[in-house]
Structure formats: C-alpha cells, structure tokens
Structure 1
Amino acid sequence: MQTALQPAIDTARERKTLAFLVPLIEKLRGLDSPLKKHQVGAVVVSPTRELARQTYTVLQPFLEDAPELEANLLVGGRDPLADVTTLQESRASVLVGTPGRLFDVLERCEFLDFKHLELLILDEADRVLDMGFRGHIDAIMARLPKQRRTGLFSATQTDAVEQLARAGLRNPVRVNVAVSAATAPDAANSTPDDPEAARSADAVAAAGTTVAGSTAGQRTPTSLQISYMLCEPDQKMGQLIRFLQAHRQEKVIVYMLTCACVDFWASVLHTLPAASDLVVHALHGRMKQRVRDAKLAAFTAPGPGCLLCTDIAARGLDIPDVSWTVQVDAPQDPDAFVHRVGRSARMGRPGRGLILLAPSEQPYVKFLLVRKVPVQEQAGVQGVPEVDNDSLLAAVRAASEGDRDVMEKGTRAFVSYVRAYREHQCRFIFRMEELDLGRLAMAFGLLRLPRMPELARSKAITNFTPSSVDLDAIKYKDKTPQARQNKRGGL
C-alpha cells in the first residue's frame, strides 16, 4: 500500500484532502463484498469545480491498487447528459463533484444505488453553505441512507456548519486540529553558559508557544509575513504594477473583489506600457470551464507568473510555489482574508502577503489584529522605478476610448465593485460614504459615470473628469463582440 500512497502524498500538499481520502479508500476496500457497477460507496462534495477536480486527481493514485473501485468527477461546464451516459457505462464507486451538478445528475440517474453508501464528505463545508448550496445539500442528503458516516471538513466553523451538523448528523463528534505546547529543541537543558540555547528559549517565551510554524494566539503561521499599503483607489493599480515588476521572477496571486474587475484588468494590463511584459493569467467563476482549466494549469506550471482572480482561488486549491498573495481589495467576508493569504507559506514554507487599503479603510488593520492576524505597514515598493500615476490613468482611459469592449468592461467592473463594496460584512469599516467614487471611476477608465442609485444618493462626486470622446463613435477592436452587438440591434 505504501507504493500506492506515496504518489498521492507527494502530489497532495493539502493534508485535509488526505485526511478524508485515506479513510474513504480504506473503508471501501474493507467492505465484505465489492460494490457492483452502479452502487455508490462514497460521495465527496466540493464548493468549486477546481477543488473538486483537485480532489479527484489526488484520489486517482489510491485507486491504482483497487481495480474494484472507480471514481467519477461531476462538475459544471459540460453537458449533464454526458455525465449520465458516463455513469451508465462505468462504475460509480466514488462520486466527486460540486453541489449543483451532483444534485442535477442524481435527479437524472435513478439507476444509481445508494443503499450501500458508507461515506458523505462535505469539503470546505462552510464555503459550500455560504455559496447558497444549502438546498442542494439538503436534497442530496435526503437521497442518501441515514445509516452512513458523514464528514464536514472546514477550516472555519460557521453557524451554518453547526446547524447542518445538528440537523444532518447522528451522534456527531467534533475533531479539532489545534496547536499544543512545545519548546525549542534542547531549551530545557540549556544553561547560562550556552548563549545560543538561552536566546532560543527566550525567543519561544517571548513569541508564545510555537508548533508547526504557528504562534499561540495567532491565526496565521509565523512563516507568513503580512503587510498593508495605504493608497487611494486610483493609485492601487500603479502600486500593483510596481509590485509585479519587482517580483516578476516569482509566482504571485492577486485577489480582486469581483469577476468583472478581473475581466477588466486582465484585458487592460497588457496594453499599458508599464505592464506589457508581465505574464498575467485570469481566473473567476464565470469563465467557461475549459478556459478556467487552461488558466489554472498555465499558472500552476513551473515558473513565475501572476494570477488575477476572485475568491474562487482562496480555498483549498493546491497551487505550489506561491511566494506572494496581493489583495487589491479586502474580501467581503472577513474570514476569506486568512484563506487568501494562506495560499502562500504552505506546509511550513515562507510566504508573504500584501493588502492595499484606502486611507479610510485603515481601521481594517486593527480589525485584523483583533482577529489575531498581525499585519505591518509597508511604505512602498522598493527596487523598481515609480509609476507615473497620471500617465497610467491616461493610458487606461485611452484603452477605453479606443475599444468599446474595454469601455464596457470598465463600466461593468465599476458597477460591480460599488455594489460589492456596499455588501461588505465589515460595513463599519468599508462605508459607502467614505468611498471616493470619482477616483474609483478614474481607476477603471470610465468615460462617463453610469446611472446607478448609489451615485444618485452620493454627494457631489469629485476627482472625476468626463471624457470628451463621443461614446457612440467608439467601435470594437474585436469584430466578434461587434457582431454580437449588431445582432442585438446596437451599433
């Protein structure tokens, strides 16, 4: 069994994944009689397609020595009828998928037999529920036998997870993985004559009990250093470009607030002289599945690069060799902050995180400290020339004036940003009244301010100058979106 296990352990840096896959395989291999063709022995539910695919990939080496078992991946992005056909023709020992597709397929596949099901696993259970899949989860659980083992695996325990545990689990048992006391090597045997050992013992006493790179009273590992930088909304992209130039030989994940923001900056960055030579990939949940797979594979390949993404890449994904995470915007859910920065400093390795905050958002630093996430201020990016912010904003606006697709993406990004900002869970920090909408509009290269209730309720909007360009005269550079616009009766 060691030979079969080793490849999975080598490729799966996510210990949590192994924590449920190893017992799953052992349980199914230990059945008195092997599962038949359409009998399901285990179901693993993941919140995102990428995480489901990662779990499925990690599972494969375990099945090499178990020919009587077969796993099926059920995620969106393909015809559900194709999944039904695959299940009809193959064994269905283990089903791995996202809640929506699992629910859809189970509704269509009456031939599947769940009477012998042993395990139901909800990976990142809190995220599954936060994404609005509670109805699907309830329907899936109703299809499964009550005599089963159910595992809820989550880095954070929310009220929704507790409610699900009480409602859907019989005789639940909580297993917490937490730090425990440890001392520095040989610290107990050190003497005043051994200065190195004495300093080591003093360091442990000063920093708190340290285990596996974590410090007591701290939610992030000590190998992870997090900093913040204060800058206005229209200065964030200039600082980000300087940062990416300074770390162009490293792998960096850049988190943005919405899918539309990712789309806009992914389409604009390569047109800016200061960023034209950067290797940038984009990933968010509204992309087609084949595009998502290609973008994630390109970024995870060996070598430096930058991934612009939403929180779709904040949970569970095993992306090796990430040196930095940059949060252009704070997440709506404060719990997501720790998950984001946790993409670096994996398995005891060093890592760094940076968040860009507007001056009015500086109280977020104290909020993080209260939540036991220490951060330090960073004055600026060292080692690379300053980016002329006025020239950068002019270049972004020029891109909008020269391509209707860019102009529309900028407007969508602005609107989605404002509405997402309004829904921040930390509204006492991220206050709409303090958001400089004029600077934000300039950052997205807007030529005119869109009509939206948030702008109508705002006081006089400063720091924004409308463009003199005739918006109706702006054409699409790419003829494909132009053709689609023509069909809709537009230009």
Structure 2
Amino acid sequence: FKENGGQVLIGTPGRLDDLMTRLSEMSLRELELLILDEADRLLDMGFEATLNSILARLPKQRRTGLFSATQTKEVLQLVRAGLRNPVRVDVQVIRRAAAAPMAGGNAADGADADEVSDPKKRSRADPETAQATPSSLSNYYLLASDEQRVPQLVAFLEAELSAGRKLMVYFLTCACVDYYGTILTQLGQLKGRNVRPLHGKMAHKTRSKTYEWYLSLTSGGVLFCTDVAARGLDVPDVDWIVQFDAPQDPNAFVHRVGRTARMGRAGRSLLLLRQEEDAYVNFLQVRKVPLSEYIPVQPELPSLRPVLTKIITADRDVMEKASRAYVSYVRAYQEHQCKYIFQFKKLDLGALASSMALLRLPKLRELGKHRKKGVAQWVEFTPASDVKLDSIRFKDKAREKQRQQNKKAAAAAAAAA
C-alpha cells in the first residue's frame, strides 16, 4: 500500500490504527469515505478508543457511514463525537397483515409486507407496526419441553433436508455445537446428510473449509453454529434459520435471522422455546420482531434418549462431549441478559440432562452456589444404572491406548502414596 497506493483499504480497527501509527508519512488528506460496518459490535469489543484514534487522524471533510442492525448508546455516542451533521437512516418494514400459525411447514411463508421506500409514507408510518426484520422474512416460534426439543429438531431437519433446503441451526455454546453435531448425525434420520458444525473454537483452517463447503451447497445442507456465524457471513440461498437456543444477547436475534431473506429473497426462521420462556415472544414483538406460532405435524414425538444413549456408550468421545455440552449450557444459561425471562431457577436441570442423554450428572459448582443462596433447584434425573462409565472406550484406538496408560500411571501413583 505504501508503494503502490490504493483506492480502498479494508481492515480491523486495531490493524488500521497500527498502520497509521507506523506509516506516519502516509497521506490521508484525500480520503473521501469512511465505513464502519457492524458499528455496535466494534464498540462492544472495546474498540472505542482505537476508533477515536483513527477518527482523529482523518480529514474532517469526509463522508462517514455507520452500519448496524442494532443501535446502542455507544453507537450514538460515537455519532455525536465523531460525525459532523449526522443523518440517521432507519430502514423499516410495515406489516400489512398478521401472519397465521404455521402448521408443519406446509403453510405459506407468512404475512405479506411492504417495504416503505417513500419518505412521505415512511414519516407517517405507525411505529407500533414497524418491524425490525425484512418483509420477506417470516419468523416462527415453537414451544417444546426439554424432552421434545431434540426430537422436534431432528424431525424438522429431516423434513426440510428432504425438501432440498439449506438451514443454519444456532446453539448456545461451542460445546453444544460439538456434541449435537457429533451425535445427531449418527441418527438414522440425519445419517449421511450434509450436516457440519461451525464455531469459534475450531481451528481457522477448519472453519474456513466448513464455510466454503456450506457456500458450495446448492441445496439440502445444515450448518450447526454459534453466534460466530451471526454476523458478517454472506451465505446466499439460506432457507431457514433455526435457533435451538435463544441468544444470550437479545440484539443477536436480529443478526442471526439476518442470514436468510437477503437481497429481497424470502426466508423463514424458527425459534425453540420452553413453556417457561414464552414471555420472550412478547419481548421480541415489543422490539418490532413479529413471530407466529409454528405447529409441528406431530406435537408429541417418541423420546430419542434410548437411541442417543446407545451412541454415547459406543464411544467415550461422545460421552465426554455430552458432559461438556451440559456444563457449558448451564453456565451460559445463567448469563442470559434477559434474566427475568430465562430464569435459571426455572431451568429443569434433570430434564435437560435427560434430553441430552447424559449417563450421569456432572458436578456443577454453579448449582451449589444457587443452593447456598436459597434457590430451590430440584434435579430429578435417572442415571443409566446398567452402564459402567469406566468400561466405555474411545473408538479412536490411540486415545483409548493413552487412557489406559493414564489409568495405570494413576493406579501406580496411588499405590506408591
């Protein structure tokens, strides 16, 4: 860039600030346009001081654009501090009709809606009917117990994959993506299907390969992911966004569903909630996100616990992933920003463990803390009494050999003590 110049420079705030600091002779006098994409996220990641440093080096006579699906007080502070004569542009949608409940995926895509492009019409738009999601996006929710959540997800994915649709399924934690991405793909309904995991703890090379794989799919594929795939990914032709877990940050909901219904295309999203979490529907509607109830073809499906248990007992790796997923989920659930809706004391830890086919309940430090505080958290869970955990072996022979060596070393150390 120093030698040949350029018309467009793209980078992270930290890298751009470093470049400007090291190349002090670099002339920025002819800069015309500055774009800050995902402005709220940049500030949330602690780049406020860096952004202010960049803005101080740029010419005052320039155009600046801040783009974000969510407006935060930090973004507004940056607007006041770093922009001259700011103009706020809100893109809103006015609903024409209320969406009808969706029955088993056979109903229409949802309510018709018009984008308000006429400034005069936009100024007269009723704020009560303005929505925060595109008119071509239909949002649905499904109330399901812990016992029914996984069976309903599997049945839904099987039906949509058979119809050749592309889906993204969001989970609360990386460990949950690992676990469900491993065990659900061994079920008869999903075995051999195009289903892969993607999360932030994967190696960069693996993430990139998975992303390229999903991009290359023309139909019939599922990406199990965390919020690492909620922003910045431009994936065309995604038919469904499924949120197996609501996001910790309610602002992330709009970003998640924004992976579908892009560039005027139709799209749909489905949010799974427990009965105790149904207030989240009203919460989203207050935030101008309309949702309609999704009615599955079979409201009550057989439990998958026996099948999942069989898969777990066949490979210690899956058993360990199940425990990690459970612990990570319980800890993440306590960090929900909407604590008055997602109340930890109402989370049935026993039913959750059963739904994940755990053989035993892991020790949870957090549960002990809540008991000390006087929170009554009853855990009703029946462990797999006919299974000896130590007898479960790794399918990976190298890992199993290492486990046996570790056992012998531990036994020898105990005997010596």
Q: Which TM bucket (shorter chain)?
A: 0.7 to 0.9
Residue by residue over 1:232-287, the C-alpha shift from the partner in whole angstroms, topping out at 9 and shown as x without a partner, is 12321111110011111101111111111111111111222232133102111111
Are 1:242 and 1:381, in contact at CA under 8 Å, matched by a contact in 2?
A: no
Letter in 2 for 1:406: V
Query: Is the aligned partner of 1:437 residue 2:353?
Result: no
2:383 — aligned with what?
466
Residue number in structure 1 paired with 2:102: none
Question: Is 1:211 paired with 2:116?
Answer: yes
1:373 is aligned, of 289, 297, 300, to 289
How far apart, in 1, do the equivalents of 2:180 and 2:95 lie?
46
- 1:452 matched to 2:368? The reply is no
Q: 1:24 is matched with which residue?
A: none
Q: Label 1:290 to 1:139 Cα distance change in 2 as closer, same or farther (>3 A).
A: farther
1:100, distance to aligned residue in structure 2 (A): 5.8
Structure 2 distance, partners of 1:170, 1:276, is 53
1:359 aligns with 2:359: no
Give yes or no for contact 1:266–1:282 (8 Å, CA) kept in 2: yes
Hey, what does 1:264 align to over in structure 2?
179
Separation of aligned partners in 2, 1:182 and 1:275: 37
Paired position in structure 2 for 1:61:
none
Q: Note the C-alpha offset of 1:140.
A: 5.7
Q: Is residue 227–residue 376 contact of structure 1 (8 Å, CA) maintained in 2? A: yes
Query: What is the SS of the residue equivalent to 1:448?
Result: coil
**2:27 and 2:332 mapped to 1: Cα distance?**
44
Alpha-carbon contact 2:93-2:134 (below 8 Å) kept: no
Residues 38, 111 of structure 1: 8 Å contact kept: no
Q: State whether structure 2 residue 207 is matched by structure 1 residue 295.
A: no
Distance 1:120 1:485 in 2: 55
SS of equivalent residue, structure 1 residue 455: helix
1:348 alignment partner, SS class: coil
Structure 2: which 5+ residue stretches go unaligned?
97-110, 411-417
* Structure 2 counterparts to residues 323-402 of structure 1, below 5 A: 323-381=239-297, 387-389=301-303, 392-402=304-314
In the TM superposition, residue 173 of structure 1 has moved relative to its aligned partner by 1.4
Q: In structure 2, how many angstroms separate the alpha carbons of the residues matched to 1:153 and 1:362? A: 31
Other-structure match for 2:105: none
Check the 8 A contact 1:252/1:307 in 2, yes or no: yes
Rounded Cα–Cα distance in structure 2 between residues aligned with 1:112 and 1:370: 49
Tell me the CA shift for residue 207 of structure 1. 8.2
Q: Give SS of 2:272's match.
A: strand
**Residue 173 (str. 1) matches residue 86 (str. 2):** yes
* 1:227 and 2:140 matched: yes
Matched residue, 2:41 = 127
2:393 paired residue among 447, 455, 475: 475
Q: Which amino acid aligns with 1:425?
A: Q
Give the number of the structure with larger relative contact order, counting CA–CA contacts within 8 Å between residues 6 or more apart: 2
Per-residue deviation, 1:134: 4.2
Deviations 1:443-469 (A, max 9, x none): 223222222233223535444212233
Q: Secondary structure, in 3 states, of the residue corresponding to 1:252?
A: strand
Q: Given the alignment, which residue of 163, 168, 192 partners 1:277?
A: 192
Relative to structure 1, the CA distance from residue 113 to residue 474 in structure 2 (aligned partners, 3 Å threshold; closer, same or farther) is farther
Counterpart of 1:242 (choices 128, 138, 155) is 155
2:220 is the counterpart of 1:304: yes
Note the alpha carbon deviations across 1:365-405, whole angstroms, 9 max, x for none. Answer: 111221122211122146xx97521xx11222233322222
Give the superposition deviation at 1:127: 1.6
Residue of structure 2 equivalent to 1:51: none
**TM-score, scaled relative to structure 1:** 0.67
Change (3 A) 1:455 1:180: closer
Q: Partner of 1:42 in structure 2?
A: none
Counterpart of 1:203? Answer: none
SS in 2 for 1:322: coil
- The C-alpha deviation readout for 1:146-183, integer Å capped at 9, x for no partner, is 6574432212211121223334x152513414359999
CA distance in structure 2 between the aligned counterparts of 1:165 and 1:229, rounded to whole angstroms: 39
Distance verdict in 2 for CA 1:327–1:381, change over 3 Å: farther
RMSD (CA atoms): 3.5
- SS of residue matched to 1:412: helix
- Letter of the aligned partner of 1:334 in structure 2? P
* Equivalent residues of 1:38, 1:113 under 8 A apart: no
Change (3 A) 1:397 1:303: same
Cα deviation 1:66-93 (Å, max 9, x = unaligned): xxx3xxxxxxxxxxxxxxxxxxxxxxx6
Normalised to the residue count of structure 2, the TM-score between the two structures is 0.78
> Does 2:63 match 1:158?
no
The separation in 1 between residues aligned to 2:25 and 2:55, in whole angstroms, is 14
Q: Quick one: which amino acid aligns to residue 251 of structure 1?
A: K
Taking structure 1 as reference, are residues 372 and 460 closer, same or farther at Cα in structure 2, changes over 3 Å only?
closer
> Does structure 2 retain, via aligned residues, the 8 Å contact 1:264–1:409?
yes
User: Do the aligned partners of 1:115 and 1:145 also contact (CA within 8 Å) in 2?
Assistant: no
Q: Label 1:269 to 1:134 Cα distance change in 2 as closer, same or farther (>3 A).
A: farther
313, 330, 334: which is aligned to 1:422? 334
> Greater CA deviation, 170-179 or 230-239?
170-179
In structure 2, relative to structure 1, the CA distance for the partners of 1:106 and 1:418 (3 Å cut) is: farther
